[in-house]
Amino acid sequence: MAAEPGSGDCGPRRGHLAAVVLARGGSKGIPHKNIRRLAGKPLIAWVLRAALDSEAFDSVWVSTDSDEIEKVAKDYGAQVHRRSAEVSKDTSSSLETIQEFLQHHPEVDIVGNIQATSPCLHPADLIKVVDMIRTHGYDSVFSVVRHHLFRWRETMYWTGEFTVAENLNPARRPRRQDWKGELYENGSFYFATKELIVRGLLQGGKMAYYEMKPEHSIDIDIDLDWPIAEQRVKRFGYFGKGMPTVVKLLVCNIDGCLTDGRVYLNQEHEFTSYSLRDLDGIRKLLDREVTVLLISERDIRPSLISNLKLPCEFEVNVTDKRAVLQRWMSKMGLSWIQAAYMGCSDSDVEFLKLAGVSGVPADASTAAKMTDSFTCTQGGGYGAIQEFAEHVISLMESGR
C-alpha cells in the first residue's frame, strides 16, 4: 500500500536502521499503558513482535525509564535503552527522546520510531517501508490512513459568521465509493535519518508516506480507544504466524483449557467443571467442518468426555503428545499449518509453536504464553476455548 511520492526514486540508502519503541513508565491517561495487557499481551509486545519478525531492522529497542517495562521489553526480545528523567516527563516529546537515544547510540543512522499505541502493525508493512528507505532512498517515511471525512470551517455562530464546506461541494455530496477520501497521519510509525532528527525533524527531506490498511490503523489515545483496539487486534492483529485461512483440525488440551485445572475430590470420585460457552465454541468449529480432538495427559474416565455429547474425538492418558498428534495429522493428511492447537502448559509449547494457529488461556504457564499464540482474556474452563474458536473462525472468514 505504499504511495507514489512525487519526488520519484532517490537511490539506495545504507546504514544501521534501528526500530525504537518509546515506552515511558508514567503514562497519564491510561496508567501503565505501555505494558497494560491488550488481547492478552503487554501493549508494547504487539509492535515488538512485528518489528522483530519483519527482520528488516539492524536492532530493535525500547526506550524507557521503568524497570517493569525494561523487563517486559527484554522478555519480548528487544534491547533496552534506559532514558534519562529529562525525556520522561509528561511534557517530553518523542523527538527529544529519540535525539537522546541517538546520542547514546552513535552507530545508528536511521530510526524507525514505532508507536506502541498502534498495536495492529504487521511485519509486511514494516518490510515495505524499509524498502522505501533502503532501495528508494527516502529520508523520512511516516504512516497514514485514508479517511472519508467531510471537513467544515470552524466558526462562532453567535457572531453571525457562516460556515463553509472545506473539502466538498454540498450541492454534489460525493458518495463514499465516488470519492478517494484524504490521507491522515495515523501515528503508527515515523522513520527518519539521523541527519533529520538531529536537526529537530521526524518528517522532512525527501519525504514519503506509507498508506496503511484501515483495519490495521488504530491509535490508542484515550481510555475509550482501548476496547476498540482490543477488538481490532483480535480480528486483524499480527499473531506471529503464517495466519492460515484453512483450519481442518483443532487439538485442545483438556486440562487447564476445557477445565480450569482444578480437581475436586471426595472419597470415591474426582470432579471437574467446564463451561457451556466452550462447548458452544467447539460446536461452532464442528459446524465449519473442523475436526476437534481433545487430549489429556491424565487418566480421565472416557464417560466424562462422552457426557459432553459433542461429536469430537478424544484421547486420554496420553504420554506422548507428539506421537498422538503426528498420528492424527497423517490420518487426516494434514500439515501443521492447517492445524490449530490450544494448550496451557509447558508440555504444550512445542505444539503451540508448530501449529498454524495457536491459542492459550489467560492463566496458561509463562512458557506457553511466551509463544506467538493468541492469548485469551478468559482463563481455562471459563470460555477460553470459545474465544479461541471465534478467533480461528474469524481467520478462516477473513480469507487472509
Q: Which residues are known to be catalytic?
A: 173
Smallest distance from the beta carbon of 280 to ligand NCC, in angstroms? 37
Binding of ligand NCC by 22 (CB under 6 A): yes
Determine which residue in the list 138, 190, 238, 388 makes contact with ligand NCC, applying CB under 6 A. Answer: 190
Stretch touching ligand NCC by CB under 6 A, among 99-107, 184-192, 255-263, 268-276? 184-192
Determine which residue in the list 166, 185, 320, 397 makes contact with ligand NCC, applying CB under 6 A. Answer: 185
Determine which residue in the list 62, 111, 116, 342 makes contact with ligand NCC, applying CB under 6 A. Answer: 116
Stretch touching ligand NCC by CB under 6 A, among 69-77, 91-99, 273-281, 344-352? 91-99
Distances (CA, A) of 21 to 87, 185, 356, 375: 14, 18, 28, 22
Smallest distance from the beta carbon of 293 to ligand NCC, in angstroms? 41
Binding of ligand NCC by 93 (CB under 6 A): yes
Smallest distance from the beta carbon of 131 to ligand NCC, in angstroms? 22
Binding of ligand NCC by 97 (CB under 6 A): yes
Q: Which is nearer to ligand NCC, 119 or 343 (CB)?
A: 119
Stretch touching ligand NCC by CB under 6 A, among 16-24, 132-140, 326-334, 361-369? 16-24
- The C-alpha cell 471459563 sits at 382
Binding mask 27-56 for ligand NCC (x = CB under 6 A): x------x----------------------
Stretch touching ligand NCC by CB under 6 A, among 5-13, 49-57, 85-93, 318-326? 85-93
Binding of ligand NCC by 99 (CB under 6 A): no
d(CA 180, CA 134): 29
Smallest distance from the beta carbon of 37 to ligand NCC, in angstroms? 15
Stretch touching ligand NCC by CB under 6 A, among 23-31, 101-109, 164-172, 255-263? 23-31
Q: Which is nearer to ligand NCC, 97 or 140 (CB)?
A: 97
d(CA 367, CA 199): 44
Binding of ligand NCC by 187 (CB under 6 A): yes
Binding of ligand NCC by 221 (CB under 6 A): yes
3-state secondary structure the chain: CECCCCCCCCCCCCCCEEEEEECCCCCCCCCCHHHCEECCEEHHHHHHHHHHHHCCCCEEEEEECCHHHHHHHHHCCCEEEECCHHHCCCCCCHHHHHHHHHHHCCCCCEEEEECCCCCCCCHHHHHHHHHHHHCCCCCEEEEEEEECCCCECCCCHHHCCCCCECCCCHHHCCCHHHCCCEEEEEEEEEEEEHHHHHCCCCCCCCEEEEECCHHHCCCCCCCCHHHHHHHHHHHHCCCCCCCCCCCCEEEEEHHHHHCCCCCEECCCCEECCCCHHHHHHHHHHHHCCCEEEEECCCCCCHHHHHCCCCCCEEECCCCCHHHHHHHHHHHHCCCHHHEEEECCCHHHHHHHHHCCEEEECCCCCHHHHCCCCEECCCCCCCCHHHHHHHHHHHHHHHCC
Binding of ligand NCC by 92 (CB under 6 A): yes
Smallest distance from the beta carbon of 23 to ligand NCC, in angstroms? 5
Binding of ligand NCC by 103 (CB under 6 A): no
Residue pair 317/304 in contact (Cβ under 8 Å)? The answer is no
Handedness of CA 150, 156, 157, 159 (dihedral sign): negative
Residues in contact with ligand NCC, total (CB under 6 A)? Answer: 20
Binding of ligand NCC by 117 (CB under 6 A): yes
Smallest distance from the beta carbon of 95 to ligand NCC, in angstroms? 7
Q: Please report, as ranges, the residues that interact with ligand NCC according to CB under 6 A.
A: 22-24, 27, 34, 87, 92-94, 97, 113, 115-117, 185, 187, 190, 202, 219, 221
